[in-house]
Structures are given as structure tokens and as C-alpha cells.
Amino acid sequence: MNPVLHDKLQFRTRRQFLGNAGQFSLGAIAMQAMQAEAAPKMDNPLAPKHPLHAAKAKRVIYLHMSGAPPHLDIFDYKPQLVKRDGQNCPDSELKGRTFAFTSGVPKLMGTPRTFKQYGKAGMWMSDACPNFHGIADDITMVRSMHTDQFNHAPAELLLFTGHTRQGRPSMGSWATYGLGTENQDLPGFVALISSGTQPSGGQACWGSGFIPSVYQGVQCRSKGDPVLFASNPAGMNREMRRKTLDALRELNEAQATEFGHPETVTRIAQYELAYRMQTSVPEVMDISKEPQHIIEAYGAKPGESSFANNCLLARRLIEQGVRFVNLFDWGWDFHGTGVDNGITDGLTKKMAATDKPVAALIKDLKQRGLLDDTLVVWGGEFGRTPFREGRTAAGKVLGRDHYPDCYTLFMAGGGVKAGFDYGSSDELGFHVAENKVHVHDLQATIMHLLGFDHERLTYRFQGRNYRLTDIHGHVVKDLLA
């Protein structure tokens, strides 16, 4: 079908016909009254909203280690796995299973890292994460996570959108849709990328799917222009930009009144937000204004692009009222195909660039009185196998394959218990032994902490109500303070 003709025919509705049937016809009079009722309100879609129940968290910083950290070498200590290092993997753990890069009978692999217990709860951590040792009393360690996917992109999409395919709203978009934002000069939802690569799930991890696009995450950068395409084009000053936006607003308001499409209202809000962001975003993104001791605590370097810079930016953003900040750090796919992704030198190097700023972020939030109502989450999209990855089994660099059945993440602040260990895997790390937590349960718990019943925060699309947790998920009440 001719797309131009199709667009014209779309608007040849009965409403349009009756509306044009004569200025004083009964149909025109009736339609004008109905249109006045049906026209969308021009309210700001990002205005602050009240949650359904009292919220323990007002905002979220989600630190995603894209590629899936080797939890058995950082958090989940398995003495029996160390004892059985080099033995064949039990047949019971292989039968009927498919792994990403491993076939045949792999060898069990105990961690080469040194583990000790830290904090009042005696939380197990390895020498790979020395800066995490000092925040053991501030975090909840969840050792019983599991997911349905063992490939990066669908696992990340499931984690952040509740579905393995693109097209669903992301967690941050749901939060912003439900709560709005406390600073109308900044986006309600911000995504920050480090290590030079987007997550495998792509921009859908912070996209808005089928809900209005005003709720999608705005990708900001710690180097160069903070937001792409927000600056005025060559030859246009701020006064001219304002006049242009005023004209566009009038046209869009007329279209919204006539056709009632929600994306038209979104477009108005986005143009206005982009105009305000031209002055507000550069101010909040300038970490050079921080005291030197804060910059050094994070290991940040103003003017550069790094995970440390992004952690400091995350604190500055939520301090200014941003509702949800996602940090995506690429490079956690520890297969052992090279020194950089091996669980000895590679993991040491990767953690050195990340655990210091994460620990600094949690301590900084705490001393500013922000941790109590800011939820911080650290983790990947799945775990790693208790055996050596098949392709690298004969090499000198140690690596692990993808593994969805159990993994570890931690949470801090925002209404979760502090210094708390939750759940466990079995003695070899193949299965969750107690207190299973599915990714949908994690989503439900985050929504609960933000003040929502995950079953009631919905959006109607294509004839049915959708939610972040799809038709699954339970709040893990044992994690709540």
C-alpha cells in the first residue's frame, strides 16, 4: 500500500467525516464536544507523582557489569569445588544441558583467588575486590539469583525489560513513568556507558518500548558534549532556538488537540526538556567542581570517560533529582580467551578499575544521608560455570562459560538490609540451594522499594495491560529492612 495514501486514509475516520460535515451540523456540534473531552491534557508527563504506597527508595542507581562477572571468583566461595579442581564434571550436571561454548565433559575448576570473611556478618569475598571488603556491613549479598537465558543480549533484555525480545519498556522507564522526576531541568532517567561498548542488549536496556518515549533513558557522556544533539546547530543562538520551539509547540498542540496522539504531547515535553538541558546538564556533569578528596576517592579523572567518572556522575545526578541512573560497564565476559578476560590477572585488572569507585559511591551516599533512600544494585545478567570453558580448557588462561542457574549480586541502601547474606548455591555452585531469586523477583522487589505493586504498575498496549515483570515475580520480603 502507498504509505502516503495510507496515512491520509488513517485520518478519514467517522470523527473526521462528521467534524467536516458542516460547520453547524449536529454531527459537527457533537464531535466538537467529544473532541474537547478526548483531547489529551498538556500536563507535564515528567511531573513528580506519588507512589502507590510509602516508598523506601526514592531513586535507583543500577550498576550493570555487562558480560556477567565470575561470581565464583569474587563472592561465592566453594571449598569443595577447590578440592575437586580438575576432576570431570558430574554427568548429572551435563545431561540434557547446552552451554554457550562448552561441549563434551569439562573439568571442574576451583577458584585460584583467596577468600576471607568480612564485616560483622562474616561475608565471603575474594582478594579480587579489596575495596568491597570495606562495605560488607552496608550491603545485602544475594547469592541465589537465577535467570532463564545464557546468552548476553536476551539475558540483559530479560533483566532490564522483563522480556527476551526488544520492544518492552525498561526498568528505568517504568520507574520514571510511575514516579516522574524531581528536577524538571534534567531527564528522569539517565544511562551512562563505560569501557567503550554498549551492553549486548543495546539501547533497549534503557528504552521506553511502547510507553511514551519521554520516559526512555537519556544517554549521557562524561567526555565531550554531555548529550548528543542537544546543542544548538551552527548559526542558531539560544534566542532563535526559543522562538523556533515556541512555533513548534503551537503546531504540536494543535495536532494533539485534533488527533489525540500521546506521542505528540511527548514531543512537546522532549523539545522543552532538551532546551532546559542545554544549561542544566553541563553544570551537573562537570565533576571538576567536586572537592579533590572526593575525586581521588572515586579514582575519577575529570574530562575523561571512565566507570569511575560515571559513578561520581551518578551521585551528582540523583542528588539533583534524577530518578533512575543506569551504569553499563562492558568487559565482564571472562571466558579466558585472552589475558584480559582471565580470572587471574584479567579479573584483578577489571576489578581495580571498578570496585574502588563503587565502594566510594556507597560511602559517599551514606555520609551525605542519601543512601537510606537511594537503592544501589551491582551485578551482571547471569553467572559463570563451575567448570573451565571448553574452548580455553587446554590453555594457560583460566576462564568460565556462561551460566544462568545461579549467580550473585549485591544491593545497598534504599530499604534493603545492611550486612546481610541471602540465599546460597550448592557446594559445587551448580544450583541454588536455598531462597531462589529470579530476575523477575528482583524487578518486583525494586518496584516495591520504589513504592509500587509490580502487578498494578501497568500500561495498556494492543488490548491488554503490560507490566515489567510480565506475568511473574514476587517481592523478596526477606531482603527488606
Confidence of residue 283 (pLDDT cuts 50, 70, 90): confident
Share of the chain above pLDDT 90, in %: 72
Note the pTM of the prediction, 2 decimals.
0.85
Structural Rg of the chain based on CA atoms: 25
**pLDDT, greater one: 332 or 263:** 332
For 344-397, how does the pLDDT look when each residue is reduced to its tens digit (9 = 90+)? 999 999 999 999 999 999 999 999 999 999 999 999 999 999 999 999 999 999
Helix 439-449 / helix 171-179 crossing angle, nearest 10 deg: 20
In the chain, the domains with their CATH numbers are: 3-38 (no CATH), 59-230+282-479 (3.40.720)
pLDDT confidence band for 5 (50 / 70 / 90): very low
Residues 318 and 204: their CA atoms lie apart, in Å, by: 22
For 143-191, write each residue's pLDDT tens digit.
999 999 999 999 999 999 999 999 999 999 999 999 998 888 888 999 9
Q: Are the C-beta atoms of residues 13 and 38 closer than 8 Å to each other? A: no
Is it the case that residue 13 has pLDDT exceeding 60?
no
8 Å CB contact between 112 and 126: no
Least confident range from 110-124, 195-209, 268-282: namely 268-282
Task: Identify the residue with better confidence: 94 or 225.
Answer: 94
pLDDT in tens, 73-127: 999 999 999 999 999 999 999 999 999 999 999 999 999 999 999 999 999 999 9
**Does 445 score more than 70 pLDDT?**
yes
When the pLDDT of each residue in the chain is averaged and rounded to a whole number, the result is 87
What integer pLDDT is reported at residue 205 of this predicted model? Answer: 98
Is residue 85 within 8 A of residue 380, CB to CB? The reply is: no
Give bridge partners of residue 139 from the DSSP assignment: 412
Asked if pLDDT for residue 336 goes beyond 70, the answer is: yes
Least reliable range by pLDDT among 234-248, 400-414, 460-474 = 234-248
How many whole angstroms separate alpha carbon 374 and alpha carbon 449? 10
Assess contact for 312 and 357: CB atoms under 8 A.
Answer: yes
